[in-house]
Amino acid sequence: MRDEKSPSERCLSGEARTRLWGGAFLSRRIGEEKPDMAEHRAGLVKPGGRLNAGATPLLTAPRGVSCPCGLLHSLLLCRWRLLMSAALLSGLLLSGTPVSASGGSVRSMENIMENRPLKADDTLQDMLEHPALRSFAKHLLPRPEDAYALCTLGTVGRLMPWHHSVQPDDVVASLNRLIRDVSAGKQVFYSFYDEKSLREKTGLFFLRGKPRAPFALICPGGGFVYVGTLHEGLPPGKIISARGYNVFTLQYRTGGEETACADMAAAVSWIFRNAANLGVGTDGWSVWGGSAGARMAADMGTYGSAALGGDPLPRPSAVIMAYTSHSLYSRSDPPTFAVVSADDPIASPAVMRKRTDALIAAGIPAEFHLYRHASHGFGTGRGTDAWGWMDDAVRFWEEHMSGNR
């Protein structure tokens, strides 16, 4: 079922709490109406729209966010900036580095901040404000409103209710891979639309492999309600990239399969058009997806880019689909690798097996891999008996890499 709770509810079990400097707590149930806020706001503005300087000032939260959550959001941000400034200044002074507003020490501080690795106990705000990530970090969030969730990177799995076995070490390692790439001067995020409103909601994360090596396009799942990039996009991408292949992780618009597939087709069309500048090979490309993302991957294999609104392109050489009950196929489908767990409460293993058998009967190479205790949305499989499935999937892709249709 769709999770209707706000990010704060998911992280604090329904109550927003803010620690005040004196040690006391201010708490209020999420969704509780703020008393007489309209009257207070009316007192702030004089006729004609000018601010009434004599009115009692208010500390309000961002629009749509409860006041305690907004207060903590501001306090955490200030605390992070103060701690980082103090730590960096202290390090420079201890090292004997002169601190000058016009000298190289300022640039040194900026470089240190940009290279600072994230840790599991860092907050989402730390990620959003990290100098190497801040220009695109909002695209890493499962949903835009999660920017105000009171979570650490170690507990970010709470924001992805249809994913299991979210590994904090994998989340952090993936983000630090992006940080290292940015610090090395590599661009890691690209927009594939020209229209601003679409660019705000979509994009591609790029993990480079060997120059001109084939690329994999990963479509993370999330029930078309959120996009699980931090679990089902970047961590698998990091594994594939380590094998020398180029990897793009897609951030698409939520709301439905058709819209998401249109973004997927636009993204792969953009990759093909810019392959030379990106340094990626287009022969033997593959498409990967989990849950809702697996439906998208299967659609690309069955219908092709042009039918989904993109350019007329060769179909992928392989489709890798994890834990989905998607059953449609055609006799022109690419080789397909399917994986699921027997205890999956959402995707039916029987449906996946039946589809795989139908592909094989149609003369299409296909494999079905069943695990026992990985549940739904296991990502790379780390921490479950599905760990290692990605090695089999890469091997399957390599076997059929020359088979673009």
Q: What share of the chain is helix, strand, coil (3-state, %, to 5)?
A: 40, 15, 45
What pLDDT score does 78 carry?
Answer: 57
How far apart are alpha carbons 405 and 20 in whole angstroms? 62
- Retrieve residue 115's tokens: 């290279």
What pLDDT score does 76 carry?
Answer: 54
Contact between 294 and 321 (Cβ < 8 Å): yes
How far apart are alpha carbons 218 and 287 in whole angstroms? 6
Chunked into runs of 10 residues, the chain (405 residues) has average pLDDT values of 43 35 32 35 34 31 40 54 52 46 48 82 97 97 95 97 97 98 98 97 98 98 98 98 98 98 98 98 98 98 98 98 97 98 98 98 98 98 98 98 70
Amino acid at 141: L
Those residues with Cβ within 8 angstroms of residue 256's Cβ, 6 or more apart along the chain or in another chain = 224
CA atoms within 13 Å, Cβ hemisphere of 388:
5
Those residues with Cβ within 8 angstroms of residue 17's Cβ, 6 or more apart along the chain or in another chain = 25, 26, 27, 68
How far apart are alpha carbons 349 and 338 in whole angstroms? 10
